[in-house]
Structure 1
Amino acid sequence: MSEIAEIIDSLENRIEKLFIKIERLEQDSIGLKTELENAMAVIQKKSDEIVTLKSECESLKMANSLLGGEENKRDTKLKINSLIREIDYCIAQLSD
């Protein structure tokens, strides 16, 4: 009979250890989920910052080309022609 009691005690100890391990793993999981959410927030913030910086870069390129930089003369002429076509289109729409 004592062997059965020892086996039961052993099983109880193992089950208790398993419950402790499960609780620890659940806490780790919660911590990792929080860390993941924080990382995703940082990634979103950086993505938004990249979009803003790209927009600023394009604006600066346009401003630089309008100032008459040698390497951007072709881009400047194309942009001016595009703007003139848009203005002509708007005038045509208004005159109808």
Structure 2
Amino acid sequence: MNKLFEIVNNLEAKLSKILGQYTIVQQENLKLLQQKNNLQQQLSKQQEVIDALENKYESLRVANTIVGSKEDKHATKLKINTLIREIDKCIVQLSD
């Protein structure tokens, strides 16, 4: 009987230890999820900044070409033609 009591006490101690570790792991998991969410938000903001800078770069490149820079004149002409075609498509859609 004494042996059985000892086994039950050991089992309770081990179970208590496991529950404590489980709680710690849950808390760490929550912290990691919050950290992941924060990093995703930062990544999203950085992507928005990158997109804005790419648009600004493209606009500056086109403006520089129009002003008289010899570089990328052909690319600018193609871009302008593409924009004109898009405007024409919009006009056709609006007239229908």
Whole-angstrom distance in 2 between the partners of 1:34 and 1:84: 47
Gaps of 5+ in 2: 90-96
Q: Normalising by the residue count of structure 1, what TM-score does the alignment of the two structures yield?
A: 0.78
Q: Normalising by the residue count of structure 2, what TM-score does the alignment of the two structures yield?
A: 0.78
Whole-angstrom distance in 1 between the partners of 2:86 and 2:11: 82
Matched, 1:17 2:17: yes
CA RMSD of aligned residues (A): 2.5
1:65 and 1:14, CA in 2 relative to 1: closer, same or farther beyond 3 A? same
1:34 and 1:75, CA in 2 relative to 1: closer, same or farther beyond 3 A? same
Per-residue CA deviations over 1:26-68 (Å, capped at 9, x if unaligned) read 0011000000000100110011111101100111001110111
Higher Rg of the two aligned structures: 1
Task: Give the residue type in structure 2 aligned to 1:2.
Answer: N
Gaps of 5+ in 1: 90-96
1:59 and 1:3, CA in 2 relative to 1: closer, same or farther beyond 3 A? same
Identity of aligned residues (%): 36
Q: Tell me which residue corresponds to 2:94.
A: none
Task: Give the residue type in structure 2 aligned to 1:59.
Answer: S
Whole-angstrom distance in 2 between the partners of 1:39 and 1:87: 40
Whole-angstrom distance in 2 between the partners of 1:39 and 1:86: 38
Task: Give the residue type in structure 1 aligned to 2:53.
Answer: L
Task: State the number of aligned residues.
Answer: 89
Deviation at 1:70, TM superposition (A): 1.2
Q: Tell me which residue corresponds to 1:6.
A: 6
1:15 and 1:43, CA in 2 relative to 1: closer, same or farther beyond 3 A? same
